[in-house]
Structure 1
Amino acid sequence: MEYTLKVKLIHEEATLPFRANEGDAGMDLFSIEELTIRAGESALVRTGIQLELPKGTEAQVRPRSGLALKHAVTVLNSPGTIDEGYRGEVKIILINHGKEDFRVLKQMRIAQMVIAPVAQVNLIQTEDLTISERDQGGFGSSGS
């Protein structure tokens, strides 16, 4: 299924999100500012973009594997959700799990964004749930 995502650049140094390779699920998001995230701390990083998501979708903000592997920097609330109706600036919460301070540079790829459909469900309060094979087993119940 193909959707149209509208992106508004609201800062002179903003970069349009893009896929590094054809067929990639995620589009890279870029920083418009320079800042240092101290070891063990988090920061809100501006992207300088606003979105108009297609009806019935969300944007999931996910970590970049290279930042996670090389610097132990990741998206704190991963995946972060941008709701269909949100029109404010996209900002990314990064956390530095590393032992050294991490420097975010302008135009650095800081996260990736995946557009995903959202199921709209009707909630029904009930006293009875269907028994499943798994039932209440969780937290390691399926093995190591």
Structure 2
Amino acid sequence: MSIPTTPQTLSVALQRLDPDLPVPAQARTGDAGVDLHARQDVRLEPGERALVPTGVALAIPEGYAAFVHPRSGLAARHGITVVNAPGTVDAGYRGEILVNLLNTDVREAVQLARGERIAQLVVQPVVRPVFTEVAELPPSERGSSGHGSTGSTGAAASPLTHP
């Protein structure tokens, strides 16, 4: 049995700061993110990072945020990632989207050309938390276990411990 679904859309105002670059778009129907393009050529030496402009500024509606994610192909082929992944674009920000790229390869430099797809932007609803201070949190099955507490498939691996 098939459950019908409908694609969700959200109107987002976009200012093109570089008319020669494409408007961010999905590479394929159903993709979660839209591609962001480099506004300039950039060379990243091993271990080097750079703030790369994308040529677009957005007005994300209140109640939403945009998140800049690494592109899996650049990561797999060249070790390129987004330093603060995912980078957060708040609803109130109106400046150019900049992507903080890092070359994690220890041997090879990477040359990225103007117009190349360098990251993905995913727009998501966000909620504003209202915190209530309590003396103790309610129990859960997991409790405070984290950072490797469920183990590993490697025989030599052991859960991390907290100091």
Q: Give TM class, smaller chain.
A: over 0.9
- Aligned residue for 2:115, secondary structure, equals coil
Q: Which residue of 2 aligns with 1:13?
A: 20
Q: Which residue of 2 aligns with 1:55?
A: 62
User: Does the alignment pair 1:108 with 2:116?
Assistant: yes
Q: Which runs of 4+ in 1 moved over 4 A?
A: none
Identity over aligned pairs, percent: 40
Q: How many residues align?
A: 144
CA deviations on 1:51-96 (whole Å, 9 max, x unpaired) are 0112211101000011001111111111110001100010000000
- Aligned residue for 1:111, secondary structure, equals strand
Structure number with bigger Rg: 2
Gaps of 5+ in 1: none
RMSD: 1.1
Q: Which residue of 2 aligns with 1:95?
A: 102
The within-5 A match list for 1:42-81 is 42-81=49-88
Structure 1 CA distance for aligned equivalents of residues 129 and 104 of structure 2: 37
Which AA in structure 2 matches 1:127?
A
Q: Scaled by the length of structure 1, what TM-score is found?
A: 0.95
Structure 2 CA distance for aligned equivalents of residues 12 and 101 of structure 1: 29
Q: Which residue of 1 aligns with 2:161?
A: none
Structure 2 CA distance for aligned equivalents of residues 70 and 110 of structure 1: 13
Q: Which residue of 2 aligns with 1:27?
A: 34
Given that 1:13 and 1:48 are in contact with CA atoms closer than 8 Å, whether structure 2 keeps it comes out as: no
Which AA in structure 2 matches 1:134?
R
